[in-house]
Amino acid sequence: MGIAAFLHYIGGKSFGPAVFIHLLTAFLLGLGLSHIYRLAAVKLGWTAFKLTALIPRIFFSGLFFGLLFQLLYVTLTAYLFQTDSLNAADFLVRTFNWTVLFLLWSVIYFGFNFFSRYRQAEIQNLQWQAAKNEIELNKLKSQLNPHFLFNSLNTIRALIDESPPKAKKSVTGLAEILRKTLYMGEQKTVSFSDELQLVKTYLDLEKMRYEERLTVKYDICRGCEHHKIPALMLQTLVENAVKHGISKLPAGGEISITAQFKGGNLVIEVVNPGRWVEGGSDQNDENKGFGLPNSIERLKLLYGREDLLKIENKNGLVVTRLILPDKTI
């Protein structure tokens, strides 16, 4: 307001001592009254008001401070220059001008304050959402670890009677897997190469149980080793392929794992023999599997999308396709 007062009076006037005093008086009055206006608005809590409640307050405040400014200005200049002439029309015009300036100042001040509060609220909301997602992801990962451990222990239990030496070797393999999962459990995402190494260790353990009933084929593109993927995500899909595919078939079959870049995304496919029934695991198991709903929810939290995991039947095979963008949200 002080600067506005200065500009208001400087136009069209020859600069001299009297004009300088007029300008200084207007500047100091504008600066002081706008400061008082701001303090009063903050103390009365106007900065937190909604627009409908704020508009009439801005209007009447602008009118009040415009009139107050003109009264003080006329009084001070009359005292300083020992003049008592007062033109009513000129007084009203100048009062109107100052009212407009105070209204403009109010719009700028409260507008800036509104957008600052809006941005702060948006930042807080994003921080809250991130914290919520972090808690949910940790919850999902804490569910995955016992789920994986349960499957692995079932494998070792089956080997104890069939082949004690293999069971012993499997315990060693399981210890290695648990070491890696503990490391991965502390992270949202891991490199594809780390996840793939875990999967290979797990499948080696399962091959001790299923022997010739389980074969594995890998088709991994170059350059995808460092692409970040959700921790234990591929592991979960492979577990499902073994549990709901290979274990249900007397002759077993082949699990195929491919990874290729398509459209900037890493597309991973896990293919196994069997049949997928939506709402169940396969035609002989109507209980919905735990790992897939968990994976879908994790993908939604990490990438904000619900279309990144797809399962379909194709020529007697179950194809599970995982699409992983380059960045999480």
Write out pLDDT tens, residues 150-186. Answer: 767 777 887 788 778 878 888 888 888 778 777 776 6
Same domain, 228 and 318: yes
Q: Which position has the higher pLDDT, 35 or 274?
A: 274
pLDDT at 188 over 90: no
Average pLDDT over residues 298-309: 86
Distance CA 192, CA 224 (A): 7
Dihedral in degrees, nearest 10, Cα atoms 9, 10, 15, 19 = 20
Distance CA 193, CA 198 (A): 9
Same domain, 43 and 104: yes
pLDDT at 65 over 50: yes
pLDDT at 243: 86
Same domain, 189 and 315: yes
pTM metric for this prediction: 0.56
- Which tokens sit at 56? 């009439």
Q: 121, 145, 180 — which closes off a domain?
A: 121
Across the chain, mean pLDDT equals 78
Q: Total structural domains in the chain?
A: 2
Pairs from 106-110 (Cβ < 8 Å, separation ≥ 24): 106/37, 106/58, 106/61, 106/62, 107/58, 109/38, 109/41, 110/41, 110/46, 110/47, 110/54, 110/58
Band (140; pLDDT cuts 50, 70, 90): low
Least trusted range by pLDDT, from 2-6, 63-67, 111-115, 167-171: 2-6
Q: Which position has the higher pLDDT, 22 or 16?
A: 22
pLDDT at 289: 47
Same domain, 317 and 234: yes
| Residue 29, domain member (yes or no) | yes
Segment 194-224, tens digit of pLDDT:
999 989 988 988 888 788 999 999 999 988 9
| Residue 135, domain member (yes or no) | no
| Residue 297, domain member (yes or no) | yes
Band (280; pLDDT cuts 50, 70, 90): low
Same domain, 102 and 200: no
What CATH number did the domain enclosing 295 receive?
3.30.565.10
Same domain, 171 and 320: yes
Q: Which position has the higher pLDDT, 120 or 57?
A: 57
Distance CA 190, CA 231 (A): 5
Same domain, 14 and 117: yes
Same domain, 178 and 314: yes
CA 152 to chain centre: 35
Q: What angle do CA 234, 240, 241 make, to 5 degrees?
A: 90
Same domain, 208 and 290: yes
Q: Which position has the higher pLDDT, 68 or 279?
A: 68
The number of residues in the chain equals 329
| Residue 225, domain member (yes or no) | yes
| Residue 126, domain member (yes or no) | no
Same domain, 44 and 116: yes
Paired with 269 in beta bridges are: 258, 321
Tell how many helices (H) and how many strands (E) occur in the chain: 8, 7
Q: Which position has the higher pLDDT, 78 or 312?
A: 312
Query: Which ranges of 17-87 would DSSP assign to H, the alpha helix?
Result: 17-43, 51-81
Paired with 266 in beta bridges are: 261, 324
Domain hosting 19: range is 2-121
Residues near 151 by Cβ (< 8 Å), separated by ≥ 6? 239, 243
pLDDT at 327: 77
Q: 121, 154, 181 — which closes off a domain?
A: 121
| Residue 281, domain member (yes or no) | yes
| Residue 128, domain member (yes or no) | no
Q: 97, 121, 145 — which closes off a domain?
A: 121
Average pLDDT over residues 180-193: 79
| Residue 329, domain member (yes or no) | no
Same domain, 211 and 299: yes
Segment 311-328, tens digit of pLDDT:
999 999 999 999 999 877
The crossing angle, in degrees rounded to 10, of helices 291-303 and 233-244 is 160
